[in-house]
Structures are given as structure tokens and as C-alpha cells.
A and B are shown apart, each in its own frame.
Chain A
Amino acid sequence: MLGAWEYLVKHPEKLAGWALEHLWIILVAITIAIILGVIVGIYITGRGKEHMADTVLYLAEIMMTVPSLALFGLLMLLLTSVGLKAIGFLPAVIALIIYGQLPILRNTYMAIRGVDPAMIEAGKGMGMTERQLLVKVKLPLAVPVIMAGLRNAIVIIIGIAAIAALIGAGGLGAPIFRGLRNARMDLIILGGVSVSILALLVDAFMNQVERWVTPEGLKRR
């Protein structure tokens, strides 16, 4: 523990570098994962898409069960075969997006499907189109559950991003794996603790975001 502290004091620029790399990877991955997950999640709630929804959610669940190392390996193969850069940032971000999908997709889908039928009937009965119903009624009411999914996904993504160091993406995983190879406890602790702190900070930030985006009338209940 002391060793980790000494290292930090001696080389703060190194930790900052790893942390920034980590942040950049998760930022890109989270942004794309949210956009993709929420859009697909909303899309599969549409009328007559029940089968598609089942398939998509099933696929997302299977992807969650693939060990991260295996997924990184698979992606390297896949990217090489299409002539893209197989190590570093790109495969890392793609893998993280995939891992973030299940909680986002599932919560978005469940939240929108779970909106009180009376609300939907009231909206329809007053002459809302499907789109108006989605934007004015379903989505606002679904916000709390969707946000819970996002936070879940973000924590998963931050953790797994550490493993991406193995395929040359850098980030806070780099000191951890270097420490493992060289039996350097200080580096392992430094990396591990930093990932946890980052996860806590981002979660606190998301807490604030949740407060901003939750409709006023739903908070006071």
C-alpha cells in the first residue's frame, strides 16, 4: 500500500496518463453504448416486434456470458480479417460497447413496456400519435428505470476496460498487468484502487445526471 503511494508521488504523470487513457476509452464506449442501446431498446418495443425483442435480448445476454479475454481475442481476429487495426483502442471500445448493451437494452425495453397501460390508453384516447405517445408519455415515465440500466452498464464498462490493457489499449489496466508480470504489488494496488475510485466518481456524476433528467413529478413520489 505504501509502495503504491510512493510510486504515485514519484510518478504522478504516469498515473494521470493511464487514467486519461482509461477515461477516453470508457467515454467513447459509454457514449456509443448508450445511444445504440437506448435506440435499439426503444425500437424493439414497437408493435409486432416481440420476436425481434426476444432475439435481441437473448443475443445481448449471450454476449454477456462470453469471457472478456475471449471476446477481445475474437474481435482481434474479426478486425484483422476486415483489414482494420486489431489491437489497441478500436477492439477495446467495440468490446466495451457490447458489454454495455445488456443492461441498457433490457432496462430500456422493460421500462417502456412496463409503463402503466392506463397512461398509454389516456394518451391514445386523447389523440396522441405513436410517436407523441413515446416522446410525451412513455419515455418520461421510463427515465428512472432506463437510468438505472445506464449506471449499471457504466460500472461494468469501467471495470472491463481495465482488461483492455492486455490488447494494447492502455488505461488503468496497464499498471495492474505490469505489476502482475513483475510481481510489483505497488503497481497492482495503484491500478486497482484507481479503477474503483474512477467508478465511484462516475457513478456519483451519473447520480447527478439522473436528478437532472428525471421528470419533476416523478421525483416527489
Chain B
Amino acid sequence: MMIKLDLVTKVYPDGTEAVKEVSFEVEAGELCVLLGPSGCGKTTTMKMINRLIPITGGKIYINGGDSTKMNENELRRNIGYAIQDIGLFPHMTVGQNIGTVPSLKGWPKAERNKRAEELLELVGMNSGEFIDKYPSELSGGQCQRVGVARALGADPPILLMDEPFGAIDPITRVRLQDEFLKIQQDIKKTIIFVTHDIYEAIKMGDKVALMKEGQLVQYDTPANLLYRPKNEFVEDFVGADRALKGLQLIRVKEVMTSSLPTVKADEKAEAARERMEQEGIDWLVVVNDDGKFLGWVGKAELGKGELVKEVMNSSAITVTVNTVLNEALSLMLSSGANNLPVVSKDNRLQGVLSFDIIRKALTEVSQRRQSE
């Protein structure tokens, strides 16, 4: 395994026990979330891994080696670090910020620049536009992206992330989480991710370490944390709405309908009506000739014009195959739509998610809980 904590303890000189005999292992390529209320020792635990806080008991092994026996600066240069509140250096450009660790490692300038460009594109920012900007010229979300890019600077095998998506609005936050998960599928880093947000933990983690007052309460998969809580504290922390939280564990692609009753925008309204009658439904998805999503058409509107495009309702509210169900659900509730089109990156229609499907998934999730 990549990271192993063995009875790790932190006692401060004044006697406070911040972390008590915590042990867990993180496999290579896994994302491990440290979760818990504030003051539970999760951040202390994380900072002991790159020795920002010295341990006072137990051992931490990085890739099999005792971390206290390594050169602390070498160790840190090989562990990416994304700090709470971002911590970008205001006197350095975006490019220089991302190049911090490469420069400490003595990479030549051209190589650092190339890496910074790559990483900016990876986190979804136009490198030409942003590489020479200063942090004060970026929005909060852009700063968070640069913070993640900087942590990936010298391509470290391990990342430590301390509430990296903390200080931003919920919408941007969800988007950054999704994008980061997508990036993680490619880069497969071993990640320790600190958060106090149970939703974020369930969504992001392969494993979740729930802590309380310096102790590890349960180290498990998100599903087990939800449906097999070890004790009352876990149950309380997870909350009563755990069926709803379970929707975080399901992605649209697992439940969506992919055989689609569609109609093209240029077809006659009459053709649409026939198709609806054939399928026994009262709505159709409208696409263009390339299969790209345009909108919806309902039975009631068909009489109002001759062609489908004259009567359809255009819509831009879509989800992707990787959207988690509770986000899709909240999108439905906020937009008032009963159906959401599932589209690819280039807006090509891939399926449909309906309220009924989500309800079914919710029931299954609850039943799974009861049977376990």
C-alpha cells in the first residue's frame, strides 16, 4: 500500500491529545477521505503525513518506508499539497505558482512552463489566457483550480488535499468535484482528502475515515458507512436522511433509460403524435440531425403548429452520465422538470433520466439498507 498509519498519535506539550492511536492503510490510486466534525483531528492527521506536524507516537509508512527517516523537504516535494483557503502565492503568476515544486526540484524553466500549461488545461483553464495572470485577477473557483494544478505540479504519486473545494459557492463546488473525479480516473493518485462535509465525503471517497475526538471511529467504504454504521456516533453523523445521501453513490449512467423515443426538429407534428401513441407516452425528446439535444415536445402542444420545431420547448438543463443522482434530483426539483436529458460533452443525447427512475433507485437503496 501507498500510505500506512500505524497507531499514530499526536500529544501536544500541554498534554492535549489531538490524535489517538489512529491506524489505517490507503492503497495506491485510492482516494481516502478524512471526515469528522471540527476539532476531530482530521487535519492534524493529514499534516502528520507530510510532517508539517511531527508525530509523537506510532509510525507512518510512505510506500513502505518510515516517513520520519526521510528528508522532510524531499518527502514534501513528492507529496502534492492543496491547502485550505487555497494558499496561492499572490506575488507569483499562475504559471510560477504551479511551477513551485518543479522549480524546487530544479526543473529547467522551459519544462516548468510546459508542465504548467498542461496542468492548466487539465483543470479546465485556458493556459494562454491564465498562465501569466496573478491570483488577485482570478475568481474563487479559478483559484481553487490553480490550487489543484499546483498540487499536481511535479506529478507526485500522493496528494494531500485540505478542504480543497471549501471556499466557493455550492454550484461551482459540485462542478469542481465532478471535474476532479474525472481527472482522478486518469491520473490515479493516492489521495488523502480532508472534509467536514458528509456529502462530499460520500461522493469523493473510495474509503472514508470518520474521526471523532482524535480517534478513528470507522474506516470503510462510503456505502458501508451509510448502511453499516459501526455505532451510534456514525449513525448520527451520517444522519437520518441516509437513503437520500445514498443517492450520492449512484451515477446517472447506472439507471438512465437509453432506448429513446426521439423526434427530429424538422419532422411534422403529426409524426410526433404517431410516435407518442406507438410508445404510449405523452412526450418526446427533440434532437437535430446530428443527434444533439434541443428540447422537449409534449402531446398537448402538438396541435399548435405544423412542424415539431415550432411547438417544442427548448431547454438547456441537462445532466451527464457521471452526475450523481442526488444532484440530478435537486436539478429536477429546482427546474420543475420531470425528465432530464443525459447528454455527452458535445451535447449528444445519450439517455433520459426521469423522476420515476430516481424514485425506484431510492426505494432500492432503502431496501438494501433494511436487508443488510
Q: Report which A residues bind B (CB closer than 8 A).
A: 118-119, 121-129, 132, 137, 140-141, 215-218, 220-221
**Chain A residues whose C-beta falls within 8 Å of the C-beta of B258 in the assembled complex:** none
> In the complex, are the beta carbons of A125 and B76 less than 8 A apart?
yes
| Complexed CA–CA distance, A132 and B74 (Å) | 14
**Chain B residues whose C-beta falls within 8 Å of the C-beta of A216 in the assembled complex:** 91, 93, 134
Distance from B97 Cβ to chain A, minimum over Cβ atoms (Å) = 9
Q: Write 6 A-B pairs (CB below 8 A) sorted by A numbering.
A: A127-B75, A216-B91, A216-B134, A220-B134, A220-B137, A221-B90
Interface secondary structure of A, over-half rule: helix
Q: Is B92 an interface residue (CB 8 A)?
A: yes
Interface-central residue, B91, B93, B104, B160, by most chain A CB under 10 Å: B91
Closest residue of chain B to A216, judged by CB? B134
> In the complex, are the beta carbons of A122 and B87 less than 8 A apart?
yes
**Chain A residues whose C-beta falls within 8 Å of the C-beta of B93 in the assembled complex:** 216-217
| Complexed CA–CA distance, A126 and B87 (Å) | 11
| Complexed CA–CA distance, A118 and B76 (Å) | 16
Q: Is B52 an interface residue (CB 8 A)?
A: yes
> In the complex, are the beta carbons of B136 and A140 less than 8 A apart?
no
> In the complex, are the beta carbons of A125 and B81 less than 8 A apart?
yes
| Complexed CA–CA distance, A140 and B93 (Å) | 13
Known pairs A122-B83, A125-B76; A215 contacts B91 (CB<8 A): yes
Distance from A48 Cβ to chain B, minimum over Cβ atoms (Å) = 15
| Complexed CA–CA distance, A119 and B100 (Å) | 13
> In the complex, are the beta carbons of A127 and B91 less than 8 A apart?
no
| Complexed CA–CA distance, A71 and B258 (Å) | 91
**Chain A residues whose C-beta falls within 8 Å of the C-beta of B135 in the assembled complex:** 217
Known pairs A217-B92, A217-B135; A127 contacts B101 (CB<8 A): yes
> In the complex, are the beta carbons of B83 and A121 less than 8 A apart?
yes
Count class of interface residues, chain B: 20 to 34
* CB 8 Å contact bits of B62-77 with A (1 = contact, 0 = none): 0000000000111111
For the A-B complex, the count of residue pairs with Cβ-Cβ distances under 8 Å equals 70
> In the complex, are the beta carbons of A141 and B91 less than 8 A apart?
yes
Q: Report, nearest first, the 4 A-B pairs whose CB atoms are least far apart.
A: A127-B76, A215-B91, A127-B77, A122-B87
Distance from A58 Cβ to chain B, minimum over Cβ atoms (Å) = 28
**Chain A residues whose C-beta falls within 8 Å of the C-beta of B160 in the assembled complex:** 125
Closest residue of chain A to B133, judged by CB? A217
Q: Is B89 an interface residue (CB 8 A)?
A: yes
* CB 8 Å contact bits of B284-300 with A (1 = contact, 0 = none): 00000000000000000
| Complexed CA–CA distance, A202 and B242 (Å) | 69
> In the complex, are the beta carbons of A137 and B89 less than 8 A apart?
yes
**Chain B residues whose C-beta falls within 8 Å of the C-beta of A123 in the assembled complex:** 89, 100
**Chain A residues whose C-beta falls within 8 Å of the C-beta of B104 in the assembled complex:** 126-128, 132
Interface-central residue, B72, B78, B87, B101, by most chain A CB under 10 Å: B87
Q: Is B50 an interface residue (CB 8 A)?
A: yes
Which residues 76-122 of B have a CB within 8 angstroms of A? 76-78, 81, 83-85, 87-93, 100-101, 104
**Chain A residues whose C-beta falls within 8 Å of the C-beta of B100 in the assembled complex:** 123, 126
| Complexed CA–CA distance, A128 and B83 (Å) | 15
| Complexed CA–CA distance, A215 and B73 (Å) | 26
Known pairs A127-B104, A128-B104; A122 contacts B89 (CB<8 A): yes
| Complexed CA–CA distance, A123 and B100 (Å) | 9
Closest residue of chain B to A218, judged by CB? B91
**Chain A residues whose C-beta falls within 8 Å of the C-beta of B91 in the assembled complex:** 140-141, 215-218
Distance from B68 Cβ to chain A, minimum over Cβ atoms (Å) = 16
**Chain B residues whose C-beta falls within 8 Å of the C-beta of A118 in the assembled complex:** 83-85, 87
For the complex with contacts A118-B87, A217-B90, 5 further pairs of A-B residues with Cβ separation under 8 Å are: A118-B83, A122-B81, A128-B73, A140-B91, A217-B89
Distance from A120 Cβ to chain B, minimum over Cβ atoms (Å) = 9
**Chain B residues whose C-beta falls within 8 Å of the C-beta of A215 in the assembled complex:** 91-92
Contact of A126 among B81, B90, B92 (CB under 8 A): B81
| Complexed CA–CA distance, A215 and B89 (Å) | 11
**Chain B residues whose C-beta falls within 8 Å of the C-beta of A218 in the assembled complex:** 90-91
Distance from B144 Cβ to chain A, minimum over Cβ atoms (Å) = 14
| Complexed CA–CA distance, A217 and B93 (Å) | 7
**Chain B residues whose C-beta falls within 8 Å of the C-beta of A140 in the assembled complex:** 91
**Chain A residues whose C-beta falls within 8 Å of the C-beta of B153 in the assembled complex:** 126
* CB 8 Å contact bits of B142-167 with A (1 = contact, 0 = none): 00000000100100000010000000
**Chain B residues whose C-beta falls within 8 Å of the C-beta of A127 in the assembled complex:** 72-78, 101, 104
Distance from B208 Cβ to chain A, minimum over Cβ atoms (Å) = 23
**Chain B residues whose C-beta falls within 8 Å of the C-beta of A141 in the assembled complex:** 89-91
| Complexed CA–CA distance, A218 and B90 (Å) | 6
Known pairs A216-B134, A220-B137; A125 contacts B89 (CB<8 A): no
Interface-central residue, A216, A217, A221, by most chain B CB under 10 Å: A217
